[in-house]
Structure formats: structure tokens, C-alpha cells
A and B are shown apart, each in its own frame.
Chain A
Amino acid sequence: DGGITQSPKYLFRKEGQNVTLSCEQNLNHDAMYWYRQDPGQGLRLIYYSQIVNDFQKGDIAEGYSVSREKKESFPLTVTSAQKNPTAFYLCASSITGRDQPQHFGDGTRLSIL
């Protein structure tokens, strides 16, 4: 079954700690995306990547970093510079092309200890 897998489902961060959220897809999609969702809010784009070894900042990239070393994987690191990291993080992927929808994982909920 093809899809997007995010792990872990729940994650806790201590003060001053970096944490990494995993996102893996087996859909053979070129493009991948990370979004942040706060309670009762819409989605805000953190980073996106349209091809391996290339990625671009979205609207709220400060305090986050990504890598795209493999087509299947797009991990997101929430650094200690992100002062308000508590949120629901969603990863998505798509085929390139404006008619193509994005496919989403089930999300990771990050909280502060």
C-alpha cells in the first residue's frame, strides 16, 4: 500500500533540545512539504522540496531545518531556536504539476516538557 508515514505520532521536547520528525513516502513523488498546524488554525508552510538535494523555505522556516538526501525521505528538525514549537506537524508529497493534489501523512504532535 502506497502512502506517507510520519513518526513518531507524539513527541516531547525539552528546553534547548533539537528534535527530528520523520517523513517517508513510497509514492515515488518528487515534491515533499512540511506544514505546521496550530489549534483551530489552517496550515502554514515550513519548507518544501521539489527534487532531491534541493529545498526551499516556506512562510515560517525560522527555527526549523530540513534535508532531502533521498527521494523517499524529508526529515524536519525543530531546533532550540524555535521558541514556540508546540503544534501538529504535517508532511505531504505530490507529483509535480498544478492539477496534482498533495497527499498527507497522519501528522506528529510535538509538545514541550
Chain B
Amino acid sequence: GNSVTQMEGPVTLSEEAFLTINCTYTATGYPSLFWYVQYPGEGLQLLLKATKADDKGSNKGFEATYRKETTSFHLEKGSVQVSDSAVYFCALSDVNNAGNMLTFGGGTRLMVKP
């Protein structure tokens, strides 16, 4: 079956540091890949997505590249801010689905200190 593995948190960084959150996946087909962000007490918001190999998703300074050869979709940001403190979820949607069932990773908490 499908699965998503994320690095365990919390990840604690100082403001303006470089961020990487690792995400690797196992899927039977050719999935689409997503990163979601969850701020305290809120639902999930789509951060970025990539639908095929070598695609790069980007939004609000965050980037992730769909790497089929390493089955990875690592999230990066060059300079984090305190306002980026949140929980980040990696997810995949399998091409064999008639609908869009998502498989989520366990989430990685990011804490950015001033």
C-alpha cells in the first residue's frame, strides 16, 4: 500500500535559517504530491503541490521538487520567519484512485525562534 514518511519533529530554527523537512513516499503508481501546513487550532492549508516527476511546487518562499528516483518530496525554504511556525504535512494522491484519497505523513512541527 501507499505510505508517507516524514522526519520527526520538532524542528527548531532561528529566524532566517534554512529549512529542510524530509519526506519520502511509497506508492504503487505515479502519485501527485502535496505539502500542507497547519497553524495552531486550525485546519490544513495547501502549501504547494507537484503532479509529475521533476516538477517543482513553490509558494510563499517554500519549494519542493518531485524526485521519482529517490521517491522524495523534501520541503525547503531559504529563510524562515517566526510566522512559519506550524505543523507541516506531506501527502500523496495515487493515480489509481477514482477519487482523490490522500495518504498523509505524520507531520513535522516547526518552531522558529526570533
B105 near A42 with CB under 8 A, answer: yes
A: residues with CB less than 8 A from B are 4, 6, 31, 40-43, 45, 48, 50, 90, 92, 94-107, 109
Q: Please determine whether A105 and B102 come into contact, CB atoms closer than 8 angstroms.
A: no
Whether B61 sits at the interface, judged by CB under 8 Å, is: no
- Kindly identify, within residues 68 to 110 of chain B, every residue whose CB is under 8 Å from any CB belonging to chain A: 89, 93-95, 97-102, 104-107, 109
Q: Once bound together, how far apart are the Cα atoms of A31 and B41, in whole Å?
A: 24
> Are B46 and A101 in contact (CB-based, < 8 A)?
yes
Do the beta carbons of B51 and A99 come within 8 Å of each other? yes
- Verify B32–A99 contact, CB threshold 8 A: yes
Cα(A97)–Cα(B31), bound, Å:
11
Number of A-B pairs, beta carbon distance below 8 Å: 67
| B34 CB-CB contact with A under 8 Å | yes
Contact in complex: A50, B99 (CB < 8 Å): yes
Main secondary structure of the interface of B (DSSP, over half): loop
The answer to whether A42 touches B93 (Cβ under 8 A) is no
Q: A103-B46, A104-B45 are in contact. Are A98 and B107 (CB under 8 A)?
A: no
The A-contacting residues of B in range 12-56, CB under 8 angstroms, are 31-32, 34, 36, 41-46, 49, 51
Q: Note all chain B residues with C-beta closer than 8 A to A94.
A: 99-100
| Whole-angstrom CA separation of A4 from B42 in the bound complex | 12
Other than the given A40-B109, A105-B43, 4 more pairs (CB < 8 A) read A97-B100, A98-B32, A98-B94, A104-B36
Q: Provide the residues of chain A in CB contact with B106, threshold 8 Å.
A: 41-42
In the assembled complex, the CB of B48 is this many whole angstroms from the nearest CB of chain A, namely 10
Residue among A31, A90, A95, A99 having the largest count of chain B Cβ atoms under 10 Å = A99
